[in-house]
């Protein structure tokens, strides 16, 4: 009897183990296959307000094209479609923060992507990071987004604002002797800027670079991007008599300034703009016509200006051309602004480099998985449609989350076309310096 009872107990135990094993086996395949379903991304740009015309809308179109091209091939890894939920920041930081909260906590998006304005990016990045949510910045450039903040879940492949002021100043210094017949330390520079995080950061880096070179700073002044009148600033510039004007602004304020500078007779040897409104050549030309010829713009390059032979891998050229064709078809424009390339390129990096690795190596697209995958990104120079590489700064770096391989170029508007004029190694034209007599801003 005792032996029979023991056998029955063993049989029941064996049955229980078999049932448990079957249950475990039933759930294992789904776990092994990884997550299923779409990846939900909240897309936040300034679709209305002054920032819209300064580059946010072209950036949003570039982002949309990247989503379309990936989804048409089945999504990330050919099986995870991108589902987007749009938000409009309306060119207002408070609205942007409310929209971000809606996208993250009501729409329950997995990733928040976009952000054109640094005035929005600086406060938003910290708020999103504190929620342990993923923010992927495509355009906003201010160093203040990252510097000293140790953000874990915020990433930007875009060059930082400090590079803008540095490059424009070095450009003028490199050409001072040849074109101005002046030593760099004899050149007089003036810095004017919209006084938000974007303009202030670029201005500070430009001032620091001028001091390093020994260039003379005769005026540095900020203003509100919403100001209705910049005549007093033009008057101060005329009194300071700079050789070169370094300007950082958006669209309405740049147009206002250039109109009033012409009316009041400001004369300089060169005008160097730093992205944003200066990157929207079609908008500037629409408002100011040929007056914008020979003005310089510092920005990540508009991808159509690069030689696709320098891309690595070579098929990036086909991707670039497909993006450009779609953008032209959607907008009808011939002059594609740099912000369109930024929106596409920096979204494409997430969709085709970071997310596939997050899914395959780290189990999905949670913030933790994506941040691990992003820190493993190692794209060499020439590996993106804007020519630069991508390697994100990691823990312990003062700019954690910022790509350390991003770079800029200086473009000039010459005869209705945009040309790369600096760095010299990749230039497509020689810069016209000083401003020719045909320019209303040329020194007489």
Domains and CATH numbers, the chain: 39-159+311-375 (3.40.50.2300), 162-299+409-426 (3.40.50.2300)
* 111, two tokens: 């990733």
Residue-level pLDDT at 415: 80
Residue among 370, 443, 344 nearest 70 (CA): 344
CA distance 367 to 31: 19
Mean pLDDT over all residues of the chain?
Answer: 91
Mention every residue, 6+ apart, whose C-beta is less than 8 A from residue 156: 136, 137, 138, 140, 145, 146, 346, 401, 402, 403
* Residues of the chain falling short of pLDDT 70: 1-34
Q: What's the pLDDT at 33? A: 54
For residue 263, count other CB atoms closer than 10 A to its CB: 11
- φ/ψ region of 143 (left if φ > 0, alpha if ψ in -120 to 50, else beta) reads alpha
pLDDT at 4: 47
Reported as half-sphere exposure (CB side, CA atoms, 13 A), residue 159 has a value of 24
Please choose, from the candidates 257, 317, 281, the residue with its C-alpha nearest in 3D space to the C-alpha of residue 440: 257
Return the structure tokens found at 108.
């329950």
What CA–CA distance (Å, rounded) separates 339 from 58?
Answer: 6
Cα–Cα distances (Å) from 400 to 151, 160, 311, 386, 413, in that order, read 6, 12, 27, 22, 35
Q: Which residue has the tokens 């056998």?
A: 7
Two structure tokens written together for 382: 């020439």
Position 340 scores a pLDDT of 97
């Amino acid at each position: 009897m005792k032996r029979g009872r023991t056998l029955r107990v063993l049989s029941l135990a064996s049955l229980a183990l078999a049932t448990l094993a079957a249950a475990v086996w039933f759930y294992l395949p789904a776990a092994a296959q990884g997550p299923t379903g779409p990846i939900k991304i909240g897309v936040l740009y300034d679709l209305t307000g002054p920032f819209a015309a300064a580059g946010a809308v072209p950036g949003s179109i570039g982002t949309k094209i990247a989503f379309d091209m990936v989804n048409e091939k089945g999504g990330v890894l050919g099986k995870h479609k991108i589902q987007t939920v749009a938000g409009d920041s309306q060119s207002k930081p408070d609205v942007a923060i409310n929209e971000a909260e809606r996208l993250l906590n009501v729409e329950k998006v997995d990733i928040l992507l976009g952000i054109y304005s640094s005035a929005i990016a600086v406060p938003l990045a910290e708020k999103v990071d504190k929620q342990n949510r993923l923010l992927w910045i495509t355009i906003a450039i201010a160093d203040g987004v990252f510097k000293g903040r140790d953000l874990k879940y915020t990433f930007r492949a875009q060059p930082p604002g400090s590079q803008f002021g540095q490059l424009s100043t070095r450009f003028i210094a490199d050409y001072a002797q040849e074109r101005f017949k002046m030593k760099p330390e004899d050149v007089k520079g003036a810095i004017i800027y919209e006084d938000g995080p974007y303009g202030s950061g670029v201005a500070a880096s430009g001032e620091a670079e001028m001091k390093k070179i020994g260039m003379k700073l005769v005026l540095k002044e900020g203003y509100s991007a919403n100001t209705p009148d910049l005549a007093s600033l033009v008057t101060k510039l005329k009194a300071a008599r700079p050789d070169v004007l370094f300007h950082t602004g958006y669209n309405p304020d740049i147009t206002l300034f250039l109109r009033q500078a012409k009316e009041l007779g400001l004369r300089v040897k060169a005008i160097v703009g730093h992205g944003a409104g200066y990157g929207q050549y079609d908008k500037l030309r629409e408002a100011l016509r040929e007056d914008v010829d020979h003005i310089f713009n510092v920005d990540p390059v508009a991808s159509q200006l690069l030689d696709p032979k320098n891309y690595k891998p070579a098929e990036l050229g086909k991707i670039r051309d497909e993006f450009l064709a779609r953008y032209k078809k959607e907008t009808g424009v011939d002059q594609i602004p740099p912000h369109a390339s930024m929106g596409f390129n920096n979204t494409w990096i997430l969709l085709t480099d970071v997310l596939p690795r997050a899914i395959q190596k780290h189990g999905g697209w949670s913030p933790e998985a994506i941040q691990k995958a992003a820190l493993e990104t190692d794209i060499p120079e020439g590996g993106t449609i804007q020519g630069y590489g991508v390697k994100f700064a990691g823990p312990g770096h003062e700019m954690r989350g910022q790509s350390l391989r991003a770079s800029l170029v200086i473009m000039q508007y010459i005869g209705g076309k945009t040309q790369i004029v600096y760095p010299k190694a990749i230039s497509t034209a020689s810069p016209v310096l000083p401003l020719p007599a045909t320019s209303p801003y040329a020194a007489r």
